[in-house]
Amino acid sequence: MKSKKTLWHGLTSISSLLLAVSIIGAQAMEASRSQLDLFFGTTSQILETDNDDDTLYTAYTPKKEFLNADGSGNSTAIIRGAIDLGRRESAEGSVLLKNNGALPLKKGSNVTLLGARSATNTINSGMGQKSQGPYITLEQALGDTQTHFDTTTVDKPIGTNFNFSDLKYGGNGVGAGAGYNVNKKVLEAYRAINTANKLGIQDRAGSDFDPKEPSLADLTAQDSSWQSSFASYGDAAIVVVGRPSGESKDYLKGSLKEELKNEEAGITEPLELSQNERDILNLATEKFDKVIVLVNTNSAIEIGDLKNNDKIDAILWIGHPGNYGFLGVADILCGNVSPSGGLYDIYATENLSAPAMMNMGKYEFTNADDLVSRSKKSRYYVIEAEGMYTGYRYYETRYYDSIVNPSSNAASTTGTYASKGNWNYADEVTYGFGYGLTYSELEYEIVGTPKFDYKPHEIYADVTVKVTNRGSVPTKANVQIYGQAPYTQYDKQNGVEKSAIQLLNYDKSDEVIPVGQSVEITVTCDFTYFASYDTNHVNPDGSKGTYIMDAGDYYLAVGNGAHDALNNVLAAQGYGEKDGMAGSGNADLAYKFVYNYNIGDKKIDDTTFAITKNNVSVKNWLETADWNYFKKEVTYLSRNDWSGTYPKEYTDMEIPDNMMSLLGGQYYEVQQNDDVSKFKWGVDSGLKFYDMVKADWDDPRWDKLVDQMTLEESIILAAAGGDALPAIPGVGLIEMQGTENAGNGVVYKLGATKTPNVPWAISDKDVNADWNGQVFPSAPVMASAFNPDLMKELGEFVANEALFLGVPILWGPGLNTHRHAYNGRNGEYYSEDPVLSGVCAMEFAIGAADYGLIAAPKHYAFNDQETQRNGVAPFLLEARAREIELRAFQIAMEATKYDKITGKDVGMLGLMTSFSKIGPVEVTCSVGMMDGILQQEWGFHGYAVTDISDDLDEFAAMCHAGCTGFDLRRLTNINIETLAKKLGNQIDTGEPLSVAHFENDATIQADLKASVKRTLWIIARSNIMNGYNSSTRIINQMTWWRGAYIAAITVTSVLTVGFAALYVFSVIKDKKEVA
Amino acid sequence: MEINKKDITLWLNGLAFVLALVATIVLSIANNTRGFSLVSGGEVVAYSVIAVVLIAVVVAMGALKGEQNPITTLAGVAAIFLMVFAFGTAILERIDLFGGLFSWDNLNSAGWGIFYMTVAAVVLYLASAVLLIVSSFRENAKA
């Protein structure tokens, strides 16, 4: 008989392989348990209590409207609320740019949708701020009297747990559309072509960009009779032009796909209308009496030709509306709602005319090989030579100077693109920042004189504006207050730059204003965000740099956007159309006042804003951000000499010797001989995390709780945060899961709660358990609403989503300012303006905090381009950094509005740092950014986390820890155990860096203590605290996937041993037979 | 030249040895890329080197004694287990890096280099394991 030992041998081999795979798989699952729990709806850890006393589930509770009578969660109410809010955001955030009376278009009209994007709408970003789950298309929103919530969905088919049947209402219900009859034939042709072209609803920008707009011939080839359908749907053509946006890719100069370029027609840029887009627009104007254009983009498309084309009747900018925003767009088109938004960015005639465009893209140091760094992330730079003049600040200031000082070179030919001859605002700009129309006529009036409130280190001006509806349609109205500071001889001599106009604050009417009636809206302007930064000012203590206000004439002006406000200032200064003004001004809408506060015999007030609201003296912290700090090679744009300082492109820059070590990340040397005896680690004082619920920052018990943690536990908490914050059982801290996006919802399924014990938890068996909360519009739509209350409502809503899911931290919203239109990630950030951006983020975060969600605005700071974003070194002036990008964060972090309302320091609890550098230094490791400005000047003591993990960040941050205020973040808790052994790779040697390295470094140990305190402090203010009372314990749970891998390991182990035994038995048997 | 069953088994095991050796070298290079060295690099090297040695034992004993015995069987089974553990451990530690390459970190050229080398090592290890499994199903020359 043939021996079976080879069979057993082979089977033993196979089972051993499977055993190894099972064990490795088990490790992978455990490392990703937090993500798996959310994906599968399982629970690996719970908080268990012995008594359900009154303290449980009371720290934060959802809004009553999302609960059933018995206190359980009502998923249908949540979804209905999301639809309603998304709809209102789009209705208020869409911006009417042009209307010759074609809009509103009456219900029952027969309309034809044209353009590839009319059939495949862009609803959100291709990466980053995405949408999830079912969404409403433009066709559905326009075409139905009730919309279908279950026919279109993002990425995947609708599962069994979407049941929106009771959300379908006719008439004016939550899903009511515009009620138009939509031409299906044309849409079907587009859909077929779009499918073949792989046109998506959430694409990204990119080099070699193709908008994938079919030619007329393509459409005819698809359906030879497509145009014949126009006759039946000829009341109006609604043409959609759009561009995607998304994380990681920019539009680049001249990057329109090569085959699509038309050099003769000057079509070379990705944000220009392509020839095919122009053709379909021309066809629309030929075939239809009414042509309405929807601009479906967050990146400023060049639409000057549409503005100037009389046959284009209306232009409505709609951004990326998210899952339900097209209902709001339909509300505007059919007249349910009058538009009331203002543009989030200036729309230039040609985007290349922005001086920032002279330097964007990929620039590599010529001597990058000399750098000692890893992964080539420090080889790239960008010189932001436009200085202070980004966005409208450039166009409006140059315009102002060309009017007020015609002999200056503001009107020279330098930097002209669309102008015929000398630089001319009307030619260079299509639509200004903040501009927007309503269906009515609004009359603005500044009521009385602004009320000033002068304090030692703060100044506020309350400006009350009366808005009267003089038209025939009820409408909401936004009120934008702008300021102009004088550009003085002192400024010119000391290199201080001033925008001729800047947004100071804004608000919106709470309700629609009935025809013929008025409302008064008071807007508080905080001069902290009006002051200029004087880098060269010598402070009393010998340091340099502070905020100043020049003595002189100032103006507060109201206007329909920045340009209108500036024209009102010009009118108040006696200028008119005869002086070459683009548009007219109204002197009554500008208030002039003379600033002489704290001036004395000086030319400037250098004391009022020299001390921050956190009572700290201001000084330069970012001098190394300026290339000229190392080597004087860069000229920054100055309004003192527009022509002579207009930026050139800085290519082939060589790293100066004195920059090399900073660029290589060699910031700090770990000390081995410090006296660390004062630090206590692992000293049990009997405190538990529950004891610290909402405890004050100054509560001395925090120090005791922090001392309870070992050095290793502290490092784990500091270094392994992020999507999942690790559990620290020693202090009773449960593992927590955050959520990533830019503030448009929580990116998890409603039924995948991490807190199944709370009374309102939505079960994974709920009819809507698969609904995903990431549904709201892109950030520019939210900003364009110019409605702080709506932003707060969004923050509250998203926090309620998080409360149902047990998610305590949101890595968002996006708060970088738009440096130029080509940043592929502009859809994730609100605006080019710091005040508009900062107020949006502040309102969102305050609304979120009210329901226990810690919002962490990102990316602090200077995510000015996606190209080489992982470590690109942007060089810029400190004044520019402080007055634009950082001002947005400052407004959010200081949250002064709510300090005043509550009477206490509110502040932000979270922040995410940028991938990029500030000058040659990683932002995460910049003492100035993380400590001097963030913590000292602004008083931030929340959780400042790095963007994902970057070993350069990791190394340097760990070695620079608390003096930079870092809290590290990794994607998961993978390698938590090994992290304690090695925290990163040393840049110079590549050798592991272990806990042992920190055992004798006093600076790092102090920093770790501070970091841990910050982290614990913010967690104690999150919805996680709902599950804690004095008897709370952390209990590990069995999950089905854990059971599966245990079974797999068990079975493969048994098989391996069994087959091996059989093999041995066969061998023995064979030997016996041979014997 | 006629190749008998013993020769084929030897060839299979010999090839498995070569593949495992090459995989170990490739994985070691990936694991020691400047600035990206593995925390668990020592363990991975230990697993893979032991696996290669064990396969060498299988080959040597097969060549010398002409038959598989409990020692070679144990060595082969352990080698398979250790090879999977070697690349599995490396991948576990690289998940952050590899995940980033397919999303936010897609311009990390050094990272892509590690990714491709790791994939190559995994393929080689698996091929080696498959060869060992195939050879283990074969009767030895004297059977």
> What DSSP string describes A503-556?
EEEEEE-SSPBPTT-EEEEEEEEEGGGTPEEEEEEEPTTS-EEEEEEESEEEEE
Give B130: exposed, middle or buried? Use CB within 10 Å, 0-12, 13-18, 19+: middle
CATH code at A620?
2.60.40.10
pLDDT of residue B140: 52
Could you tell me if residue A317 is inside a domain?
A: no
- Record the tokens describing residue A592, joined without a space: 């002039």
Band of residue A486 on the pLDDT scale cut at 50, 70, 90: very high
pLDDT of residue A147: 58
pLDDT of residue A151: 54
pLDDT average, residue stretch A1000-1021: 87
Q: A122-136, A930-944, B59-73 — which is least confidently predicted?
A: B59-73
Could you tell me if residue A139 is inside a domain?
A: no
Q: A75-84, A302-311, A1048-1057 — which is least confidently predicted?
A: A75-84
pLDDT of residue B143: 35
Taking a contact as any Cβ pair under 8 Å apart, which residues of chain A between 862 and 901 contact chain B? 868, 870
pLDDT at A480 over 70: yes
Domain boundary among A635, A658, A681: A658
Task: Decide: A349 and A429 in contact? Cβ < 8 Å.
Answer: yes
Dist. CA A321–CA A329, nearest whole Å: 8
B73 touching A (Cβ < 8 Å): yes
Residues of A in contact with B84 (CB under 8 A): 17, 20-21, 24
Dist. CA A145–CA A172, nearest whole Å: 8
Q: Are strands A314-317 and A95-99 parallel, antiparallel or unpaired?
A: antiparallel
Contact B39 A992 (CB under 8 A): yes
Could you tell me if residue A16 is inside a domain?
A: yes
Task: Decide: A47 and A1028 in contact? Cβ < 8 Å.
Answer: yes
Contact A14 B133 (CB under 8 A): yes
In chain B, count H helices and then E strands. Answer: 4, 0
Residue-wise pLDDT tens digits, A289-307: 999 999 999 999 999 999 9
Q: Is the peptide bond before A861 cis (omega within 30 degrees of 0)?
A: yes
Contact B105 A16 (CB under 8 A): no
A992 touching B (Cβ < 8 Å): yes
Overall domain count for chain A: 2
Taking a contact as any Cβ pair under 8 Å apart, which residues of chain A between 319 and 378 contact chain B? 373-377
Could you tell me if residue A491 is inside a domain?
A: yes
Task: Decide: B27 and B117 in contact? Cβ < 8 Å.
Answer: yes
What residue numbers bound the domain in which B28 lies?
A: 5-137
The Cα of A469 is separated from the nearest Cα of chain B by a number of Å equal to: 48
- Record the tokens describing residue A154, joined without a space: 């993002």
Contact A248 B103 (CB under 8 A): yes
Question: DSSP letter at A901?
Answer: H
Task: Decide: A584 and A543 in contact? Cβ < 8 Å.
Answer: no
Whole-number mean pLDDT of chain A?
Answer: 89
Residue A367, Cβ neighbours under 10 Å: how many?
A: 14
Task: Decide: A978 and A995 in contact? Cβ < 8 Å.
Answer: no
**What stretch of H or E contains A99?**
strand A95-99
DSSP lists the bridge partners of residue A442 as A469
Dist. CA A850–CA A905, nearest whole Å: 15
Could you tell me if residue A482 is inside a domain?
A: yes
pLDDT of residue A987: 45
Question: DSSP letter at A232?
Answer: G
The Cα of B7 is separated from the nearest Cα of chain A by a number of Å equal to: 16
- Record the tokens describing residue A360, joined without a space: 């964007």
Overall domain count for chain B: 1
Closest to B35 (Cβ–Cβ): which among A16, A247, A374? A374
Closest to B104 (Cβ–Cβ): which among A948, A974, A985? A948
Q: Are strands A291-297 and A236-243 parallel, antiparallel or unpaired?
A: parallel
| The 3-state secondary structure of A664-692, one letter per residue | CCCCCCCCCCCCCCCCCCCCCCCCCHHHH
The Cα of A159 is separated from the nearest Cα of chain B by a number of Å equal to: 26
Band of residue A980 on the pLDDT scale cut at 50, 70, 90: very low
Taking a contact as any Cβ pair under 8 Å apart, which residues of chain A between 830 and 869 contact chain B? 868
Dist. CA A262–CA A272, nearest whole Å: 11
Could you tell me if residue B109 is inside a domain?
A: yes
Q: CA A966, A972, A978, A982: dihedral to nearest 10 degrees?
A: -30
Q: Are strands A917-918 and A552-558 parallel, antiparallel or unpaired?
A: unpaired
CATH code at B9?
1.20.120
What residue numbers bound the domain in which A634 lies?
A: 356-658
Could you tell me if residue B143 is inside a domain?
A: no
DSSP lists the bridge partners of residue A590 as A557
Dist. CA B51–CA B81, nearest whole Å: 8
Dist. CA A11–CA A162, nearest whole Å: 46
Could you tell me if residue A427 is inside a domain?
A: yes
Distances (CA, A) of A501 to A76, A268, A393, A785: 46, 32, 7, 21
Contact B36 A981 (CB under 8 A): no
Could you tell me if residue A597 is inside a domain?
A: yes
Instruction: Name which of A11, A15, A16, A34 to mutate to probe chain B: the one with the most chain B Cβ atoms within 10 A of its Cβ.
Output: A16
Contact B100 A3 (CB under 8 A): no
DSSP lists the bridge partners of residue A507 as A479
DSSP lists the bridge partners of residue A241 as A295
Question: DSSP letter at A149?
Answer: S
B133 touching A (Cβ < 8 Å): yes
Dist. CA B39–CA B41, nearest whole Å: 5
| Residue A628 phi, psi dihedral angles, 5° rounding | -70, -15
Could you tell me if residue A701 is inside a domain?
A: no
For residue A611, which amino acid is it? I
B63 touching A (Cβ < 8 Å): no
A742 touching B (Cβ < 8 Å): no
Residue A538, Cβ neighbours under 10 Å: how many?
A: 12
Give the ipTM: 0.93
Could you tell me if residue B142 is inside a domain?
A: no
Give A187: exposed, middle or buried? Use CB within 10 Å, 0-12, 13-18, 19+: buried
